[in-house]
Amino acid sequence: MSHPFRGAVALLAGLFAVAGTAQAQSDPPSRVGRLAFNDGSVSFHDQDEAGWSKAIVNTPLTSGDAIWTEANAESEVSLAGTRIRLDGSTELEFLTVDDSQTRLQVAQGRLDIKTFTLDTRTPYQIVTPRGTITLQQQGDYYIQAGSTEDATRLGVRSGAAQIQSLNGQTLAVRAGEVGEIAGDIGTPQLRTVNSAPPPLQPRWADRDRQVSYDAPTQYLSSDVTGYEDLNTYGSWSNDKQYGNVWTPRSVAADWQPYRNGHWSNVQPWGWTWIDDQPWGYAPYHYGRWAKSNNRWVWVPPQRDVQPVYAPALVAFIGGVELSVSLGNQSNAPVGWFPLGPRETYVPAYTADRDYYNRINRSAEIQQNTLDDRWQRTQRHETAATPVASALLNHLFATVVPSETFVRSQPVARAALKIAPEKVAAMPVAVVAAPPAPSASLAVKPATAPTKATEPTPPAATAPPAARSPDPKAATAPAARPTGPKASEPKPTESKPAEAKPADPRVQGDAKAKAEAQAKADAQAKADAQTKVGVSTNLPVAKTAVTDMPALGKPSAAERPTPAAPGPKITVNTPATTAVPNAARPPREAPALAPRTGPAPPVLKDDKATAAPAKPAPAQAKAVEPPKPAATPHETPPAQREAGPKPAEPEHVAPATDAEKKKADDIKPPAEEKK
């Protein structure tokens, strides 16, 4: 499946899903925007929030999100080869951002949009208070939302676009032109101004020297959001083992990925990594990391495969085992480490197998490896220690108290120092979700309590050639679906046959011993859960794939954020109702609002320099008195019908009756010209 998705879900307070709905009606989108740059006071809210909060660079942007810039502030959004810049006093909302379309809304303010890889088969629209703009070609565009005092504008520096008013009138705008819609919403007036659109604000020059959107590097697809910063903040090289890799510049000697930043619960994906570095977007949501020659290198996704955004390409450790091992149960620790090249990512927010295959396809993982891992995940098997040790970056796990994780606090300052051997001994969660303190990752499935021969499968040495943890599963049932492991079930099948004539007393003792061990394990788990679960009062939820308890999204009351400035938020759907975006009725255009920022730039119209800003014929009588100098070509009809009217629109106020008579004499020629 690959169709629009917006299955954001608001669950009961304290019990939010780790990553969206358990059974989503469709997949999360592959294309996601990025808040790439802020200067000044910039605010943000998502579709579940009732207020504005401070906007943070590298926040992913998707359907339902919105940005507001205060006066004299500016912001930049990157979206798969498109640069969107917001001037001061601008409100931008992402109505729909998915694999089939991009639909934005600018309620007030100014946007400058430049496309570098526009796919004309995918609609790209911007909704304004007076109509909808459609970008038709690759190009550079200027958009002014308009206000009760100002016209709505579409300027085309290069390319081609169209603006359609709310009553269905359309106006095509070509390069070097500006299209305007003025007047009231019910009676709009459309016109074309043969004037070059105003240039970008001069303060954007510094930003243009830092980043380059023009063309992604030869190693990346333009669909990788965030590529524009990589050449500035790092360098490319060819690694003997991993091929073309990217290495960040100016990082500390002990730096490692997924440590300088924080976690945020972003719907529909759930726990998402937000990095502090200005370049920290693409390398954390696409590709894999590896340590080569004592330095970390980023292995980009395969260039000729459609990239799919991921919230964080990591594996998690934690739960009861980590707490007991560290002897620090009160902290309820949780940890993670970056996935290495060709290691499988199992999303926790969807149970759709096609999506699982697509999100791993660009990592060049063999299909049989993906199939094996998927089957083990469906059986709710945990990644036991032998499998965990096969993961490339397991020793480089970052561990923090769960409270730090859930409250979206900075990770680096809260990271716990843990001996590598203890980290290496920890089992890894079967899906990419942070285990709750009460979770036990080492507990085997209930369907296999009598498998006494489970420790033997790790002795097989053939699977490691794929460099994936999947073929090394330490569970006997995993041998059933694949051909190369057909030899493994035979010994386990023959042993039960030999055990039938065995002494019943031996079997009884073994069963009693197993039951006693199970009780002891259950008691130890209960004790640990009491220490690390109840005392911390952390939100817990289940993933879409397994029954593993995972850290959930805290309620709004549990995660207070400082209020930020911004206009009143229009709620399209109540926050307590879980409605996929695709199922919602289309939202009406935003209402015209009074001007909040500076006046729009003055255009130099080579047709009529003093052309009216609101040429509404039906409203001429109401508009003429306050703007007499702007209506010379509208006055002849009005003057012939009413005596008092000629004095109102004339440019030169007649001082004498003779001058007034002279003005009346020149009216017929003016009308003939018209």
- At 584 the pLDDT is 42
- At 645 the pLDDT is 42
Confidence class for position 438, pLDDT limits 50, 70, 90:
confident
Whether residue 111 contacts residue 89, with contact meaning beta carbons closer than 8 Å, is answered with: no
Residue 103 has pLDDT above 90, yes or no: yes
Whether residue 388 contacts residue 394, with contact meaning beta carbons closer than 8 Å, is answered with: yes
The angle at the Cα of 514, spanning 446 to 523, to the nearest 5 degrees, equals 75
Share of residues in the chain with pLDDT > 90 (%) = 51
Confidence class for position 573, pLDDT limits 50, 70, 90:
very low
Whether residue 363 contacts residue 287, with contact meaning beta carbons closer than 8 Å, is answered with: yes
Confidence class for position 478, pLDDT limits 50, 70, 90:
very low
- At 640 the pLDDT is 39
Residue 91 has pLDDT above 60, yes or no: yes
665's tokens: 């004499």
Q: Where is 179: in which H helix or E strand?
A: strand 177-182
Confidence class for position 120, pLDDT limits 50, 70, 90:
confident
Whether residue 458 contacts residue 332, with contact meaning beta carbons closer than 8 Å, is answered with: no
pLDDT tens figures, 196-251 = 999 999 999 999 988 888 767 789 988 999 999 999 999 999 999 999 999 999 99
440's tokens: 């036990």
Confidence class for position 548, pLDDT limits 50, 70, 90:
confident
Q: Which residue has the higher pLDDT, 122 or 582?
A: 122
CA distance 45 to 55: 8
Neighbours of 424 (CB within 10 A): 15
Lowest mean pLDDT among 4-8, 277-281, 398-402, 405-409: 4-8
Lowest mean pLDDT among 134-143, 320-329, 542-551, 663-672: 663-672
Burial 605-634 (b: 16+ CB within 10 A, else e): beeeeeebbbbbeeebeebbeeeeebbeeb
For residue 546, the number of C-alpha atoms closer than 13 Å in the C-beta half-sphere is 28
Mapped onto helix, strand or coil, the DSSP state of residue 33 is strand
The DSSP code sequence of 472-536 is G---GGGGSS-STTTTTHHHHHHHHHHHTTS-HHHHHHHHHHHHHHHHHHHHHHHHHHIIIIITT
Question: What are 271's strand-pairing partners?
Answer: 265
Burial zone of 161 (CB within 10 Å; 0-12 exposed, 13-18 middle, 19+ buried): buried
Global pTM reads 0.74
Confidence class for position 575, pLDDT limits 50, 70, 90:
very low
353-361 helix and 367-378 helix, angle to the nearest 10 degrees: 140
- Enumerate residues 6+ apart whose C-beta is below 8 A from 510: none
Residue 505 has pLDDT above 70, yes or no: no
The mean pLDDT value for 484-502 works out to 42
Residue 422 has pLDDT above 60, yes or no: yes
Residue 315 has pLDDT above 90, yes or no: yes
pLDDT tens figures, 593-629 = 899 888 999 887 655 433 343 343 343 333 334 444 4
Confidence class for position 4, pLDDT limits 50, 70, 90:
very low
Q: Which residue has the higher pLDDT, 445 or 509?
A: 509
Whether residue 576 contacts residue 8, with contact meaning beta carbons closer than 8 Å, is answered with: no
Q: Which amino acid is at 201?
A: Q
- At 497 the pLDDT is 44
CA distance 151 to 149: 7
What DSSP character marks residue 587?
P
Residue 461 has pLDDT above 70, yes or no: no
pLDDT tens figures, 580-603 = 444 444 557 899 989 988 899 988
CA distance 385 to 265: 28
Residue 518 has pLDDT above 50, yes or no: yes
- At 459 the pLDDT is 36
pLDDT tens figures, 246-290 = 999 999 999 999 999 999 999 999 999 999 999 999 999 999 999
Share of residues in the chain with pLDDT > 70 (%) = 68
- At 596 the pLDDT is 87
CA distance 151 to 143: 11
* Helix ranges, 537-583 (H): none
Could you tell me the CA-to-CA distances from 348 to 15, 345, 434 in Å, in that order?
16, 9, 10
The mean pLDDT value for 90-112 works out to 96
Measured in residues, the chain has a length of 674
Residue 61 has pLDDT above 50, yes or no: yes
The mean pLDDT value for 114-122 works out to 89
Q: Which residue has the tokens 């003016």?
A: 670
Question: What are 291's strand-pairing partners?
Answer: 296
CA distance 567 to 579: 24
- At 326 the pLDDT is 81
- At 568 the pLDDT is 84
- Pairing state between β 102-108 and 124-128: parallel
Mean pLDDT of the chain: 77
Question: What are 569's strand-pairing partners?
Answer: none
Q: Which residue has the tokens 């041998």?
A: 479
Residue 450 has pLDDT above 50, yes or no: no
What DSSP character marks residue 159?
S
Residue 536 has pLDDT above 70, yes or no: no
CA distance 614 to 602: 15
293's tokens: 């020659």
CA distance 227 to 221: 9
Closest residue by Cα to residue 279 from 246, 326, 244: 246
Residue 439 has pLDDT above 80, yes or no: yes
Whether residue 60 contacts residue 76, with contact meaning beta carbons closer than 8 Å, is answered with: no
CA distance 230 to 220: 10
- At 42 the pLDDT is 98
Lowest mean pLDDT among 426-430, 512-516, 548-552: 512-516
- At 668 the pLDDT is 46
Confidence class for position 440, pLDDT limits 50, 70, 90:
confident
Could you tell me the CA-to-CA distances from 18 to 119, 488, 540, 549, 573 in Å, in that order?
33, 36, 8, 9, 22
The mean pLDDT value for 648-670 works out to 46
Lowest mean pLDDT among 71-85, 300-314, 513-527, 641-655: 641-655
Confidence class for position 382, pLDDT limits 50, 70, 90:
low
Lowest mean pLDDT among 364-378, 395-409, 634-648, 651-665: 634-648
Residue 455 has pLDDT above 60, yes or no: no
- Cis ω for the linkage preceding 268 (within 30 of 0): yes
- At 560 the pLDDT is 66
Domains identified in the chain and CATH numbers: 33-210 (2.60.120.1440), 314-444+453-538 (no CATH), 617-673 (no CATH)
Residue 129 has pLDDT above 70, yes or no: yes
Whether residue 270 contacts residue 263, with contact meaning beta carbons closer than 8 Å, is answered with: no
Question: What are 180's strand-pairing partners?
Answer: 153, 191
The mean pLDDT value for 183-203 works out to 92
